[in-house]
Chain A
Amino acid sequence: METNTILDVRDLNTWFYTDEGIVKAVNGVDFSIPESTTVCVVGESGCGKSITAQSILNLVEPPGKIVSGSITYRHNDGREVDIVQLKPKGRDIRAIRGKEISMIFQEPMSSLGPVNKIGDQLVQTMLLHLDIDKDEAVKQSIALLDRVGIPKAASRMDSYSFELSGGMRQRVMIALALSCNSRLLIADEPTTALDVTTQANILDLLKELQTDYSMSVMFITHDLGVVAEIGHEVVVMYLGQVVERASVEEIFERPLHPYTEALMKSIPKLDFDSHEKLSSIRGMVPHPFARPPGCPFSDRCDYCMPEKCLTANPPLEEVRPGHWVRCVKYESMGEV
């Protein structure tokens, strides 16, 4: 593992053992997150982004289970730990959750305790992980609420989540995630449920905080427009697999995988002169039990070559420096 890597996910498999059969929600995912970097994970709904995120904190609940692979977290002092090997309810993983790696969720309306005061939740988290007393925790909580843009922060300590708007709740979630200076923030579609203005504000805040705290961020979204705004690196996921990985510049200049290309075409442009029609991707993400043989994208791909694409799932290959893609179009082509 490279020294500037904070998290390294290798061949991760997280499956759900349902009554109907096994859902391979995450099916051999590889990627890594460097220090002080925002890695965006993109893909349509149902591609396994959230389950990947939950796997990183070992939060997957039955009938789901991490079946194989490794998730190596590298502590500040260089110590490495494989999260997959930790007991999901044990002390070791709990020391990482909220302290080293924190997480914010898509539904700000339901991510805070419904009958708990905002301040209590912040103070509780700080007392759990930091070596400070209650007064200090209260002081830091107020400063933090102020930092994430909550007006009259001190008086908000006694508020309940139902007294706040969606945007304010997401700010509180961000404050909670920052409360113990975690080094990696996982943000699972944190703006999807918000209106456009609020969405922009929250994105600006996250971008600013990432720089200020020089955190690593794993930002999950289905919107490439958001990726362009805040990402440094991009991981494109489809049906539980990584199909393409590269830097933001590279992805936007040279999208290689047909799925990434299709996602690009579906970004709405705020350009009134162009009469280019907004295209959406043909077809739908297949049902988990109706995975096409070979390349998982083959049934929706415009370039599909049946004799090649339907026989085997192509491997993820580095076709340009730092640019990985899983598609037969680039197989054994060397550098593109």
Chain B
Amino acid sequence: MGRYIIKRTLMMIPTLVVISIVSFVIIQLPPGDFLTSVVANLEDQGQTVDSATLAALQARYGLGRPVHVQYWRWVSGIILRGDFGRSFRYNRPVADLIWSRLGLTFVISFTTLIFTWVVALPIGVYTAVKQRSVGDYIATFIGFIGLAIPNFLLALVLMYIAFRYFNQSVGGLFSPDMIDAPWSFAKVVDLLNHLWIPVVVLGTAGTAGLIRIMRANLLDELKKTYVMAARARGLSEWTLLRQYPVRVALNPFISTIGWSLPTLVSGATVTAIVLSLPTTGPLLIEALKAQDMFLAAAFIMMLSALTVIGTLVSDILLAIVDPRIKYANRG
């Protein structure tokens, strides 16, 4: 197992390198660079930029040098000093801007993932075991509705419900008086009070999808001889389900850690704008619009890295749950 984990982790490195290159290249693509925008912006406001400042800035970021030199400066700054460059728009280090938002994005994504699992697993198992029962039909119906409702609509509806019936400040992840407060127990409770809306909004479609997957997989497994063989040994239904077919049918659940992160993160953007959440999505869009290149690059890279790490985690979990996978990867 240890060897497998090390191998998979090492295999992640080239992917991360490619991601960093692609992120950097993408933000170089639009014509001009942020210094052009800076100058244009400042001049719009009637200020003049003296050539000394311009030259200093250019030297600092190595602008005007070959792309690979710029890339190297950027990436080595990140690796060696955790320096993601400066956001010109906010005139602050990028690192100051991204961590809190990345953190919250991660918290929302992760909570959503857990929510999705906790709801989808038992319902998926139930609908497969009680196939064609009333409960199965009800779950299927609700599931299709969940898949069909657009996230922004669900967000608006839940916001209305929270506002109208729970008397809660809507939008954002904190109450107004908590936003700038230092972390405390009360602030965590406040966060949880606000968190459920985006979690339900982001998780509904995924939950409905996972229920379908779990149901279909488990139905396939339940037909196999090993289930009847285990039953023929006298195992109780519950033990049997848990230790045999559900374990096999669980694979796609774990794979979702990998592929659901990008979906969650991108789905989160629209939702975050509707709910005005201080996550990465809205800030990334602003950064892209303003050609705030280091900020945009940092977001793109960190979100992609999150996906790669998610895939790694799901691969490792899969190998733990399903020994056949480790076996196939042996050597």
Contacts and interface: CB of A to CB of B under 8 A. Distances in A.
Contacts of A128: 233-235
Given A99-B234, A160-B323, A162-B327, A115 B229 contact: no
18 contacts: A57-B232, A61-B228, A89-B236, A89-B237, A96-B234, A97-B234, A105-B228, A105-B229, A107-B225, A110-B225, A113-B247, A114-B226, A115-B247, A115-B321, A115-B324, A116-B243, A116-B244, A116-B247
Contact of B233 (A89, A102, A114): A102
Contacts of B39: none
A140 to B, nearest CB: 15
Contact of A95 (B234, B322, B324): B234
Contacts of B231: 59, 97
Interface in A103-157: 103, 105-107, 110-116, 121, 124-125, 128-129
A96 B231 CA distance: 11
Interface of A: 54, 57, 59, 61, 89, 94-99, 102-103, 105-107, 110-116, 121, 124-125, 128-129, 160, 162-163, 173, 176
Contacts of A95: 234
A103 B237 contact: no
A61 B223 CA distance: 10
Contact of B324 (A112, A124, A125, A162): A162
Contacts of B224: 110
A120 to B, nearest CB: 8
A116 B236 CA distance: 17
A105 B224 CA distance: 11
A102 B226 contact: no
B119 interface: no
User: For chain B, what secondary structure do more than half of its interface residues adopt (helix, strand, loop), or is it mixed?
Assistant: helix
Given A114-B324, A115-B323, A97 B243 contact: no
Contacts of A129: 234
Q: Closest 3 A-B residue pairs measured CB to CB?
A: A98-B233, A98-B234, A97-B234
A54 B233 CA distance: 13
A99 to B, nearest CB: 6
Contacts of A54: 228
B247 to A, nearest CB: 5
